[in-house]
Amino acid sequence: MPDWLIALFHLLVFPGFGFLFLCALAFQWIDRRVAARLQGRVGPPWFQPLADLIKLLAKEDILPVGADELACAVLPMVSLAAVLTAGLLIPVSGWKPNSFEGDLVVVLFLLSIPMLAYFLAGWLSISVYSVVGGNRSLLQYFAYEVPFLMALGGTAIVNGSWSIASIAARQSQTVWTMLMQPVGFLVAMIGLIGKLKRAPFDIPKAKSEISAGPLTEFSGRKLALWYLSRDMQTVVGVFLLVNLFLGGSGAMLLPALSFVAKALLLLLMLSVASVLYARLRIDQLVDVGWKVLAPLALLQLLVTVWMGVG
């Protein structure tokens, strides 16, 4: 097969768009189903995420007068593109076609872009709810991002590489980073909830306070892209943590199976966390971020460095 065909396959099918798309739908369904069961509900049938997406794509696309139409059309695509690019760089069950030293930093950078797009969308779509939501998303970013980065950096230091694939591979020779850095893992999970704006950190889109936050004025195709980008971000975030903390696909016989099992485990943790608590206020989240998570992450980092030196 010619090289360009393989590259195209990677881009569009696996581990690119097609694969991430299916995972996004599947993850959304599992998440909704688990949350529903925990809340004593039935939950949606398996095709509901797809049906929702198709329905949104078919709906009328309107924006308020005065909104920046070009920016509002481009931003969801930027968000989706960044997530997809990040997805390409993350090894999936031993597949690492695009791995290079330092790709962890690139992925972390790419994963910040959706948040920036989200904030700008709120700022540019002319609605008081979306402006307040946009401000909140920026504040939230400052609350979770630093501890999140420190926790993920810790895994790179302990495994002696800044390539996600090598970090994952190294763990099959030693132990899972999660066991060496339990605190770091906890901080990373909480940071991920903040990054994905999931309950109880769904502060920028708290519907009882500010309708839908930055996305209040979006509808139709644009909203569908936002949702797709959000769901893919969940997938990429979970895959990233599986590689960094749970040893990726590991050295087991069925790498794909073990990878999927670990990813589902993390997803389950996210779902459970989303039904257990009341939504925090933004100032409370900033407090938690800087007074609890950041010191914990720092402590973990210091312990790691000290042990590495010792």
Partner 1 sequence: MNVDSILGALREAFPAVTLEFQPGLLDETFVVLSADCVHPAVRLLIERFDIRHLSTITGQDRGSEIELLYHFWDGRGLTLRTSLAREDSHIATVVDLIPGAAFYEREVSEMLGVTFDGHPDPRRLLLPEDWSGEPPLRQGDSAQFAEQDVPSPSIGTAIADSGHVVWAKDTGRMIIPIGPQHPLLKEPLSYLLTVEGELVTDESLRIGYVHRGIERLCQQRSYVQNIYLLERVCGICSHIHTTTYCQGVEALLGLEVPQRALHLRTLLCELERIHSHLLWLGVFSENIGFTTIFMYAWRDREITLDIMEELSGGRVSHAANVIGGVRTDVDKEQGHSILGRLEDLERQIETFRDVIRHERSFQMRTRELGHLSFEQVRSHCVVGPMARASGVDVDLRRDAPYAAYDGLDLRVVTAGGGDVWTRTQMRVQEIFESLHLCRQVLKELPGGPLTVRAPRRVPAGEVVSRAEAPRGELIYYIRSDGSERPARVKVRTPTMTALITLSEQLRGINIADVPAVIGGTDLCIACVDR
The answer to whether residue 291 forms part of the interface with partner 1 (CB under 8 A) is no
- The contact mask relative to partner 1 for 26-45 (x = CB under 8 A, - = no) is ------------xxxx----
Window of 166-174, 197-205, 220-228, 231-239 that interacts with partner 1 by CB under 8 A: 197-205
Asked if 281 touches partner 1 (CB under 8 A), the answer is yes
Q: Among residues 146, 275, 286, 299, which is the contact residue for partner 1, using CB under 8 A?
A: 275
**Site size with partner 1, rule: CB under 8 A:** 31
Q: Report the residue from 23, 165, 199, 297 that binds partner 1 according to the rule CB under 8 A.
A: 199
Alpha-carbon torsion 9, 10, 15, 17, what sign? negative
Q: Decide if residue 219 touches partner 1 (CB under 8 A).
A: no
State the Cα torsion 6-8-14-19 to the nearest 10°: -170
Print burial letters for 210-222: b (CB count within 10 Å at least 16), e (below 16). Answer: bbbbbbbbbebbb
Distance CA 295, CA 55 (A): 45
266 binding partner 1? (CB under 8 A): no
Shortest reach from residue 281's CB to partner 1, in Å: 4
Show the binding pattern over residues 100-139: x = contacts partner 1 (CB under 8 A), - = does not: --------------------------x-xx-xx--x----
- The answer to whether 310 touches 162, Cβ cutoff 8 Å, is no
Closest distance of CB 190 from partner 1, Å: 13
Whose structure tokens read 């881009």?
11
The residues in 59-98 that bind partner 1, with binding defined as CB under 8 A, are 66
Spatial distance between the Cα atoms of 218 and 189, rounded to a whole number of angstroms: 29
Cα separations in angstroms, 233 against 80, 81, 144, 199, 272:
9, 11, 16, 15, 18
Query: Tokens for 35?
Result: 């949350």
* 238 lines the binding site for partner 1 (CB under 8 A): no
Alpha-helical runs (H) found in the chain: 3-12, 17-38, 48-58, 69-89, 103-124, 128-159, 164-173, 177-180, 182-196, 207-210, 220-245, 255-276, 282-287, 294-309
Q: Looking at 208, 253, 306, 310, which residue binds partner 1 (CB under 8 A)? A: 208
Of the residues 90, 282, 294, 296, which one makes contact with partner 1 according to CB under 8 A: 282
In the bound state with partner 1, the residue whose beta carbon lies nearer, of 92 and 282, is: 282
Q: 92: which strand partners?
A: 95
Q: Among residues 36 and 50, whose Cβ is nearest to partner 1?
A: 36
Answer yes or no: are the C-beta atoms of 98 and 89 closer than 8 Å: yes
The yes or no reply on residue 193 touching partner 1 (CB under 8 A) is no
Q: Looking only at Cα atoms, what is the longest distance across the chain?
A: 63
* Binding interface with partner 1 (CB under 8 A): 38-41, 66, 126, 128-129, 131-132, 135, 199-200, 202-203, 206-211, 275-284
